[in-house]
Amino acid sequence: MDARKIQVKVFIQSPAELDIDPIVPVFHDWIRKNTLEELLIDVTDYGHVHQGPALLLVGHASDYCIDFAEGRAGLFYSRKRQAPGDFAECVTDAIRRAFFAAKKLEGESSLQDPIRFRGNELLIRINDRLLAPNTKETVREVEPVLREVLSKVYPDSSYTLEPVGTPRDLFGMRVLAPKAPSVTDLLARIA
């Protein structure tokens, strides 16, 4: 697999009704302080989009957003530009960046309602329909690499991988790990 544009969504556990307005100044602060250690450019509010990317932190190489797709809030990381390394390294990097941003958001003392993320579910997608169409063949090609990477993330627990979407959607796999620890602990395993 030669795809490099990996996306990862980490789902929010609480609060149940997430208000994006208090996160806007947090994202602006992240730009000023280089919190995510990459070039971040702007913050855009798409809160009017139903079950979509509500708050977008735009970067040069990748974007981060608070996303409500499937009616479920989460932090969504998306690599826009070719990432270095092979496919496994790109997946590892994307998961690491998503966990790192989630950990930073959990630690934001400026938020009146602290945000907590679930470590037991991830959505991993490939934003390249040409190299990774949403087909059974792509599942067969990608699954062994995902299992190799995920064995570092979830070494102590069993997890399942489920293909998601239709052939018209981006290729995606849902990771379910019932006994997963916090995103901070998961980040430590792949940092």
Kindly report, residue by residue over 8-47, the tens digit of the pLDDT: 999 999 887 889 999 999 999 999 999 999 999 999 987 7
Q: Pick from 65, 57, 83, 61: which is nearest to 3 by CA?
A: 83
- H/E segment holding residue 141: helix 136-153
**What's the CA gap between 6 and 125, in Å, rounded?**
6
List, as one string, the DSSP characters of 71-124. Answer: G--EEEEEE-SPPSS-HHHHHHHHHHHHHHHHHHHHT-TT-SS--EEEEEEEEE
Q: What is the pLDDT of residue 16?
A: 79
Q: 45-49, 96-100, 145-149, 167-171: lowest mean pLDDT where? A: 45-49
Whole-model pTM: value is 0.93
Strand partners, 161: 175
Q: What three-state secondary structure class fits 5?
A: coil
- C-alpha angle 110-94-161 in degrees, rounded to nearest 5: 110
Q: 65-74, 79-88, 170-179: lowest mean pLDDT where? A: 79-88
- Which residue type, as a one-letter code, is found at position 119? G
Q: What is the pLDDT of residue 2?
A: 82
**What's the CA gap between 119 and 18, in Å, rounded?**
18
Q: What is the pLDDT of residue 15?
A: 87
- What b/e string do you get for 7-28 counting C-beta neighbours within 10 Å, with b at 16 or more? bbbbbbbeeeebebeebbebbe
Mean pLDDT of all residues in 133-159: 92
Q: What is the pLDDT of residue 180?
A: 80
What mean pLDDT, rounded, does the chain reach? 91
Per the listing, tokens 């993320």 go with 117
